[in-house]
Structure 1
Amino acid sequence: MCIVNFRKFAAAFAVAALGTTAAMAVTPDELRQKGSVTIGVQMDQFPWGFIDEAGQNDGYDIEVAKLIAADLGVTPAFFRITGQNRIPSLTTEQVDFLVPSMTVTEERAKVIQYALPYSSNDITVWARKDAEITGNEQLGDFVIGVNRGSAFEPILTAAAPAGTEIRGYDDDATTVQALLSGQVDAIVGSKTYGTVIQSTGRGDGFEAKYKVADNIQAMAVRKGDQEMLEYLNDFVTRHDAELDALYKKWIGSDRADLPVELPGVDFTGKAAN
């Protein structure tokens, strides 16, 4: 008992040291009893999650998060996540779970628990139209930007020739801006960067060059939050039609057929048991 209490105290102290309040509810029933849920979402990645002109959260992931909250019968609160803080925000209990436009990777699956995939987003090279980039071997001739801390970064590092000048930026918005302002010649990231570029009125000068890799995305809970995981897996299955419609609305294409198994990733939470 003393050990358990010490661990709880240590966890609470760690969260307090970060200046946050722990989100202690970890099961659907506890969330219903509390009447609210804190969800980690992007707020600077149009059209996945962003702040609209009225100052409200909007986008594909936001609508998915609202759909989950409605399904639970609770009020949603949104916590801003970035490529750097989204996993710590979950593991330090600042959020109850993530709806993050986050790539499923084997390495991340060692730290967090992925639910069944709900989305996908091809990893794409974007550049000026006059930049002659048709494959990875040509990246070394250009300065390439990427969102540091995202899944795009290691994929770019692996794909680009040795010696390629790669510049990291704090989030997707500044990565796209780096391309538009000429700080870099090309960027590697979401296929929806094109929507962001078009929204600036400068879309005629830039284009998608090629797809670098697939990008399967999933929500995430903490390791051991088995009831929350099983609820989200059930949610993804039950709301297939709604997720299709929201993806079509925001991303402008049909949602891909998503895998239920990936190498090195356990979507059931039971592999270690």
Structure 2
Amino acid sequence: MKRILVPLALLALASAQAASLDTLKPGVLTIGMEGTYPPFTYKDEAGQLTGFDVDIASAVAAKLGLKPQFVLTEWSGILAGLQAGKFDAVVNQVGVTAERQKSILFSAPYAYSSAQIIVRKSNAANLNSLDALKGKRVGVGLGSNYEQMLRKAGGINVVTYPGAPEYLADLAAGRLDAAVNDRLLVGYLIQKQHLPVRGAGILDDPQPVAIAMRKSGTALKTAVDRALLQLKADGTYAKLSRKWFGQDVSKPGK
């Protein structure tokens, strides 16, 4: 008879007595992500889900002794899906904000990045700040940190979309003056997708990105934080970071 090994993460979860604690499907960690947000989470030419966040999520699940099960969801509904219990965690470049921390539990940060203005390559205008975007049509993901940033600035014609592919297509077609997204996305768009766009102004200091979980998932957070530390200690994180970005994105200022 084979001996069954119980993953340490599940033992930690089982030991918690709180009735509201997240319950994982045996042997599985369900993970919400867009699947349309390269280079973080997208499908390659063969239709396989890939990307930096996919690799990070898979590596974390492996450290927990669990199999990752990805649930593809539009960004506009992904955090609501987490709260509704459709998945155990979200790994999708979720920025850590004070407002989100009121209802969401975050892991330790696994990356840092900044908001950047994106314009068409042919656009010669110097759109390098929020003030420069006033009066312009600017595309952004619905419910994103970037939407909040633009609305707070005021005077900007904010046009929201379910996800990045839609507003980047409108930007390339000239239906938008600019878009705002993660600076790490810009190089990929130019080099891999050959979109006629370029990066313009950086809008903020590097901000933390973390794995999102329900407030009740304290034991899961402990296990995930431990896994992230192990990935950095054994060199896995550095390898993945260089693979996707050619740099270490685990620290502010990089």
Q: Which residue of 1 aligns with 2:251?
A: 257
Q: Deviations over 1:55-110 (max 9, x none)?
A: 11100010111112222222221011332222122111111112121000000101
1:126 aligns with 2:118: yes
Q: Which residue of 2 aligns with 1:57?
A: 49
Q: Which runs of 5+ in 2 are unaligned?
A: 1-8, 15-22
1:199 aligns with 2:192: yes
**C-alpha contact 1:42 1:101 (8 A) present in aligned 2:** no
Deviation at 1:221, TM superposition (A): 1.4
1:148 aligns with 2:148: no
Q: Which residue of 2 aligns with 1:75?
A: 67
Q: 2:218 aligns with which of 216, 221, 226?
A: 226
Distance 1:99-1:201 versus aligned 2 partners, 3 A rule: closer
Provide the TM-score with structure 2 as the length reference: 0.83
1:210 aligns with 2:201: yes
Deviation at 1:182, TM superposition (A): 0.7
Q: Which residue of 2 aligns with 1:89?
A: 81
Distance 1:103-1:92 versus aligned 2 partners, 3 A rule: same
Q: d(CA) in 2 for partners of 1:69 and 1:193?
A: 25
**C-alpha contact 2:96 2:209 (8 A) present in aligned 1:** yes
Q: d(CA) in 2 for partners of 1:32 and 1:114?
A: 17
* Percent identity over paired residues: 25
Q: 1:190 aligns with which of 182, 193, 198?
A: 182
Q: d(CA) in 2 for partners of 1:182 and 1:28?
A: 51
Q: Which runs of 5+ in 1 are unaligned?
A: 1-26, 260-273
Distance 1:197-1:157 versus aligned 2 partners, 3 A rule: farther
Deviation at 1:236, TM superposition (A): 1.4
1:157 aligns with 2:151: yes
Provide the TM-score with structure 1 as the length reference: 0.77
**C-alpha contact 1:101 1:217 (8 A) present in aligned 2:** yes
| RMSD of aligned alpha carbons | 2.1
Q: d(CA) in 2 for partners of 1:113 and 1:248?
A: 28
Q: d(CA) in 2 for partners of 1:192 and 1:57?
A: 19
Q: d(CA) in 1 for partners of 2:220 and 2:152?
A: 34
Deviation at 1:215, TM superposition (A): 2.7
SS across alignment from 1:107: helix
